[in-house]
Amino acid sequence: MGLLNKDTFICLDCETTGLDAKNDRIIEIAVIKFTFTETLEKFESLIDPECQISESSMAIHHISQDMVKGQPKILEVLPQISKMIDKHHVMGHGIRLDLNFLSESAKRCQFPSSFDSVPTIDTLRLARLYGESPTNSLEKLREHFNIEPEGAHRAMSDVIVNISVFKYLAQSFKTTEQLLERLKKPILLKTMPLGKYKGRPFNEISLEYLQWAAHADFDQDLLFSVRTELQKRKKGDRFFEATNPFSQL
**What letter represents residue 73's amino acid?**
K
Count of structural domains within the chain: 2
Residue 121's DSSP bridge partners are 91
- The CA R_g of the chain, rounded to the nearest whole Å, is 21
Give yes or no: residues 100 and 213 share one domain.
Answer: no
Among 42, 49, 114, which Cα is nearest to 75's?
Answer: 49
Asked whether residue 173 falls in the same domain as residue 207, the answer is no
pLDDT tens, position by position, 136-174 = 999 999 999 999 988 777 899 999 999 999 999 999 999
Lateral strand order in the sheet of 89-92: 39-46, 26-34, 9-16, 89-92, 120-122
Residues 146 and 222 placed together within one structural domain of the fold? no
Domain coverage including residue 58: 9-184
87-127 confidence digits (pLDDT tens): 999 999 999 999 999 999 999 999 999 999 999 999 999 99
18 and 49, same domain (yes or no): yes
Q: What does the alpha-carbon distance between residue 21 and residue 6 come to, in Å, rounded to a whole number?
A: 33
Q: Which residues 6+ apart lie within 8 Å of 53 measured at CB?
A: 17, 27, 63, 64, 65, 68
Q: Give yes or no: residues 127 and 83 share one domain.
A: yes
Mean pLDDT of 195-214: 94
Q: Are residues 31 and 106 in the same domain?
A: yes
Residues 6 or more apart whose Cβ sits within 8 Å of residue 206 = none
DSSP-assigned letters across all residues of 60-71: HH---HHHHTTS
Residue at 248 is within a domain: no
Q: Is-contact 233 207, C-beta < 8 A?
A: yes
Whether 49 is covered by a domain: the verdict is yes
228 and 106 together in one domain? no
- 123, 129, 146, 174, 185 from 152: Cα distances, Å: 20, 28, 17, 33, 34
Nearest-5° Cα angle at 177, 7 to 119: 75
Question: Is there a single domain that holds both residue 238 and residue 167?
Answer: no
Q: Which amino acid is at 83?
A: K
CB 141 within 8 A of CB 125: no
CATH code of the domain containing 111:
3.30.420.10
Tell whether the model's pLDDT for residue 245 goes beyond 60: no
Interatomic CA distance for residues 160 and 150, integer angstroms: 7
pLDDT at residue 162, rounded to an integer: 97
Last residue within a domain, chosen from 184, 211, 230: 184
Please tell me the pTM assigned to this model: 0.89
Indicate whether 164 and 207 sit together in one domain: no
**Percent of the chain residues past pLDDT 90, beyond the cut:** 82
Tell the burial category of 110 from Cβ atoms under 10 Å away from its Cβ (0-12, 13-18, 19+).
Answer: exposed
Are 84 and 9 contacting, i.e. CB atoms less than 8 angstroms apart?
Answer: no
Pick the more confident residue, 241 or 13. Answer: 13
